[in-house]
């Protein structure tokens, strides 16, 4: 994830630069993997209101700043920064997600795009999710 300007980014996406939202977006900018609501509460100072976090996340997703990472098999929802120029109109997070079953983190594989699949007659694709489960690099080496 290339460095980017937090406040600039909020402004560009039409989100007010409140201290809390700046802090939240900073978390995402610094994260090496997707964050769940729970991850976020742990990284923020204790006492931060849960609801405010939910609403900020919703706003970020809505405005194209982050994307909701597909959670499979009942896992808790996670979120990660959008890589490209997503907006309210269109998200373009066409990459594969990797879920490590050891460290339980979810990684955006920005460089690996989801392969095209030919569907049976009559089925029309809108978008797709591809999640690979396994062991991540750092967990493999330990």
Residues of this chain that interact with DNA (CB under 7 A) are 11, 15-21, 37-38, 47-52, 54-56, 58-59, 74, 76-77
The interface region with a copy of itself, picked from 4-12, 35-43, 80-88, 108-116 by CB under 8 A, is 108-116
How does DSSP classify residue 65?
S
Tell me how far, at minimum, the Cβ of 81 lies from DNA, in Å: 18
Rounded-to-integer distance, Cα 43 and Cα 76, Å? 17
Cβ-based nearer residue to a copy of itself, 87 or 135: 135
How far is it, in rounded angstroms, from Cα 103 to Cα 101? 6
Residue 68's CB is within 10 A of a number of other CB atoms, namely: 16
- Which region among 1-9, 36-44, 48-56, 120-128 touches a copy of itself (by CB under 8 A)? 120-128
* Out of 23, 71, 94, 110, the residue judged to bind a copy of itself by CB under 8 A: 71
CA proximity to 83, closest of 113, 110, 115, 109? 110
Which token pair is 70? Answer: 């597909």
119 binds a copy of itself (CB under 8 A): yes
Q: How far is the CB of 16 from a copy of itself (least distance, A)?
A: 25
Among left, alpha and beta (phi > 0; psi -120 to 50; other), residue 105 is beta
Cβ count near 12 (within 10 Å): 14
* Residue whose CB is less far from DNA, 14 or 140: 14
Closest CB to a copy of itself among 19 and 120? Answer: 120
């Amino acid at each position: 994830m290339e460095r980017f300007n937090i406040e600039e980014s909020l402004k560009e996406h039409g989100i007010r630069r409140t201290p809390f939202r700046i802090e939240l977006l900073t978390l995402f900018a610094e994260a090496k993997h997707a964050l769940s609501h729970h991850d976020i509460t742990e990284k923020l100072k204790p006492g931060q209101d849960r609801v405010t976090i939910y609403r900020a996340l919703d706003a970020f997703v809505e405005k194209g700043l982050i994307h909701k990472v597909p959670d499979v098999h009942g896992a808790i929802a996670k979120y990660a920064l959008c890589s490209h120029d997503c907006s309210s109109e269109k998200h373009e997070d066409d990459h594969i997600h990797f879920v490590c079953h050891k460290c339980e983190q979810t990684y955006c594989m920005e460089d690996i795009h989801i392969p095209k699949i030919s569907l049976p007659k009559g089925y029309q694709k809108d978008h797709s999710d591809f999640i690979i489960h396994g062991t991540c690099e750092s967990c493999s080496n330990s």
